[in-house]
Amino acid sequence: MKHKSMPATVTSGTDEGVFEAVVSVFDNKDLGGDIVRPGAFTKSLAHWAKAEAPIPVYWSHRLDDPTMNIGEVIEAKELTSGADMPTWVNDWVREHGGLYIKAALDDFGMGKQVRHLMKQRRVKQFSFTYDVIREQRSKDNDANELLDLFLHEVGPTPLGMNPMTELISAKNKPPDDPPAEPSAFSRPDRAAFLRRKNDLTAFLARVAD
């Protein structure tokens, strides 16, 4: 598994725990020398759409600790150039596209703490964990083009790599009934994150059929 972290900007909102972000920007070389190409998340998002569990939100890649599983993605899609774009995206995303997510943080435990940090702009960056299914060197051999990625999780993080991404809003949810105990699906089995590349490739091939 690999991690990619990216700076973001924070704005206030009204639904506590809900945020929107562009967590990966297409066609832009990051500080690690990688370029994520449009379509890199297509098969992975198709897998998650059919799964019985949401894409988890983790604090800073802490997959070893279930208390760091702080929320879930409620919407994820690739923004493509030429398509209708949200009004808040920057010029680069408008032209090249990126991976958009909308997610909800827990209102207890570490989720509540991270939500506060995001609202206070003390955490302004995002990260995601992935496996590379297909990649290639760029024509000029100065970058690694990521063509097909399996997305394991996304989440806020203290440090970032790509200055192009944006956190759109961190919102406040009105008071509701006390939260229920998280289901098993909100605590994904860590073994699932450790599947080997060939297993992922075979699974995604079946999804594509």
What does 86-116 look like in DSSP terms, one character per residue?
A: -TT--HHHHHH-EEEEEEEE-SSHHHHHHHH
Q: Name the nearest CA neighbour of 200 among 61, 43, 42, 20.
A: 43
pLDDT beneath 50: ranges in the chain: 7-14, 166, 171-208
Contact by Cβ (8 Å): 167, 124: yes
Q: How many helices (H) and strands (E) does the chain have?
A: 5, 9
Q: What is the pLDDT of residue 21?
A: 83
The CA distance from 203 to 47, in Å, is 9
The CA distance from 165 to 101, in Å, is 12
Q: Name the nearest CA neighbour of 56 among 129, 154, 150.
A: 154
Torsion angle, alpha carbons of 120, 121, 123, 128, to 10:
120
Length of the chain: 209
Q: What is the pLDDT of residue 204?
A: 45
Q: How many CA atoms lie within 13 A of 186 on its CB side?
A: 17
The CA distance from 181 to 125, in Å, is 28
The CA distance from 182 to 70, in Å, is 10
